Amino acid sequence: MKQEEERRSGHWGWLYAGIAGMCVAAMQIGVGLLQTDAEYAIALGAAQGLLVCSLTVICSSLMEWLLTPVYREEDDDGGPVHPARSRVQEYEAAFRNLAQSFSGLSPGGEGKESFGGDIPEGGEAVLDMPARMNRIWNTRLMENRAAVAVQLNEMAQIMTDTVEHVWDIRTDEALEEHLKRKLKSMGLTVHAVLVYQQETKRQEVYLTMNTRRRRCVAVKDIAAALSKLMKKSMMPGKDSRAFVGSERITVLFVERTNFEVLYGIEKAVKGEEQISGDNFSLYHCRDGQFVAALSDGMGSGIEAYKESERVIDLLEQFLEAGFSKETAARMINSALVVRSDTAQVFSTIDITSLDLYTGVCEFLKVGASTTFIRRENWVEQISSTSLPAGVFHKLDPDCTSKKLYDGDMVIMVTDGVMDALPLAHQDSLMKDIIMEHQTGNPGDLASYILNRVKQYHGPSPADDMTVLVMGIVKY
């Protein structure tokens, strides 16, 4: 097929060259007949026509050689690998090689570090102060290198995911024609349609369009028309415009999620402090994930607030950039460990991520307090035994997943809430408090839990308290 296309393109090049040469020859001969003798004019015109024909063929071949990609590999389906995809794959391999170098590993085995102290056989090392400082700095260097290696590996994975996403986008001519006819009656002009099907078989549709005669059309009406054509419920993507006007824009439409999340938050500040050291985030990811995060900074007051705010800000940025939750937590931990400040700081990381299509909820905890799931007539708890972020360079978060259903509620709390209850019965008392108030309103439940917990410790909390309740609703 490829050879046939090249043969046809070569024939077209010769045809264009012949036409151009004959035109130049005819013009030159016509002008020459008016100015000089006929034989000289015909010979000169033929020579210039032949020259133009030759130059056209040469330039055509040269441009084809420069612009045609060189296919060195074959794709999974047997076709040639696109040069852009090949280039990104080369970058991905380079990032992974850099990560291996930074991690201190060589292809032959593990890297070795010199600590500046000799360890006698059968005995312990006796290090003087310079050797001890050398070991400390070498340990810090190894930790930094390991942190950079994690980041490079994750960058390589993001590049791979990105090129796969671009590669799987395709045009749908049949859908485009149907949309053009359907949306034309709504006063819209469709310029391009791109359909992307994910590994989960969910589809995304990118429509480039604008309106005629200065009209405005609601994006939700376009989503309704698209749903009828595709025979599946579609909705505008995150941060899409509400209306389409005369300006040409591209709007993303995704399959409608099966679940929605309602939430409520209640907070209490420790003693005489003016600001809580707890921070939270509620974030809708593009892939249909709803992420709720809590962070409890070490201590209380403004310093604890700054630390937990830094953790939440980093988490949001990493998730926005496409990093996984586990990698984001590890990179935040590395940032806290390798800080240049002399004082070491700790912060908890509590992440709940709900897939709004399947209802599967993933929990990631780094030194965080217990999370509770309230179902119809019972409460399930999810605990953690890991240390807060910033303690050790190597992070081992507690991860688990649960299937949630319509009407379930997830209750996330910080340490201050649990510590206000009697130590021997914290979990059982919290379960009783959650079941006492039978409501489907997350805000009401969060307020009730906080007020009931205060009854065990008094009106002035001994630590910052935060209660975040999420209710799962099925469409």
Q: Check if the beta carbon of residue 302 is closer than 8 Å to that of residue 342.
A: no
pLDDT tens profile 192-249: 888 877 666 678 888 888 888 778 889 999 899 888 888 888 888 877 888 888 888 8
Higher pLDDT, 383 or 130: 383
Tell me, rounded to whole angstroms, the distance of Cα 304 from its chain centroid: 28
Higher pLDDT, 380 or 100: 380
* Helix ranges, 68-169 (H): 83-102, 129-167
pLDDT at 292: 95
Please choose, from the candidates 279, 289, 302, the residue with its C-alpha nearest in 3D space to the C-alpha of residue 349.
Answer: 279
Domain boundaries, the chain: 2-67, 170-255, 259-474
Q: Band the pLDDT of 50: cuts 50, 70, 90.
A: low
- What is the C-alpha separation between 449 and 472, in angstroms, rounded? 18
Q: Check if the beta carbon of residue 156 is closer than 8 Å to that of residue 92.
A: yes
Q: Check if the beta carbon of residue 189 is closer than 8 Å to that of residue 209.
A: yes
- pLDDT above 70 for 19: no
Tokens matching residue 395 = 């992070």
Q: Which amino acid is at 147?
A: A
Using a pLDDT cut of 90, give the percent of the chain over it: 20
CB neighbour list of residue 341: distance below 8 Å, 6 or more residues apart:
none
Tokens matching residue 355 = 């897939």
Please choose, from the candidates 350, 346, 308, 309, the residue with its C-alpha nearest in 3D space to the C-alpha of residue 329.
Answer: 350
Q: Band the pLDDT of 304: cuts 50, 70, 90.
A: confident
Average pLDDT in the 124-129 region? 58
pLDDT at 78: 47
C-alpha distances (whole Å) from 8 to each of 20, 224, 389, 445 are: 19, 45, 64, 72
The secondary structure of 422-474 as a DSSP string is -GGGHHHHHHHHHHHS--S-HHHHHHHHHHHHHHHH-SS-SS-EEEEEEEEEE
Average pLDDT in the 267-293 region? 88
Q: Whole-prediction pTM value?
A: 0.68
Higher pLDDT, 11 or 262: 262
CB neighbour list of residue 354: distance below 8 Å, 6 or more residues apart:
259, 261, 289, 290, 291, 292, 360, 361, 362, 404, 410, 470, 472
Phi, psi dihedral angles at 368 (to 5 degrees) = -90, 165
pLDDT at 403: 94
Average pLDDT in the 152-169 region? 65
Tokens matching residue 270 = 């420790």
Higher pLDDT, 353 or 116: 353
Three-point CA angle 224, 227, 230, nearest 5°: 155
Q: What is the mean pLDDT of the chain?
A: 75
pLDDT tens profile 253-270: 988 889 999 999 999 888
**Helix 2-35 to helix 38-67 angle, to the nearest 10 degrees?**
150
Taking the CB of residue 42, how many other CB atoms lie within 10 A of it?
Answer: 15
DSSP-derived secondary structure letter, 406 = T
C-alpha distances (whole Å) from 56 to each of 9, 12, 19, 61, 66 are: 14, 11, 10, 9, 15
Q: Check if the beta carbon of residue 173 is closer than 8 Å to that of residue 180.
A: no
Q: Which amino acid is at 105?
A: L
Helix (H) or strand (E) holding 305: helix 301-321
Please choose, from the candidates 202, 207, 199, 201, the residue with its C-alpha nearest in 3D space to the C-alpha of residue 172.
Answer: 207
Q: Check if the beta carbon of residue 48 is closer than 8 Å to that of residue 20.
A: no
CB neighbour list of residue 12: distance below 8 Å, 6 or more residues apart:
none
Kindly report which listed range (118-127, 259-268, 321-330, 466-475) carries the lowest average pLDDT score: 118-127
pLDDT at 20: 55
CB neighbour list of residue 149: distance below 8 Å, 6 or more residues apart:
99, 100, 102, 103
Higher pLDDT, 186 or 469: 469
Q: Check if the beta carbon of residue 208 is closer than 8 Å to that of residue 249.
A: yes
pLDDT at 293: 94
Which CATH number is correct for 259-474, 3.40.50.2000, 3.30.70.2340, 3.10.180.10, 3.60.40.10?
A: 3.60.40.10
Q: Band the pLDDT of 447: cuts 50, 70, 90.
A: very high
Average pLDDT in the 399-427 region? 91
Q: Band the pLDDT of 61: cuts 50, 70, 90.
A: low
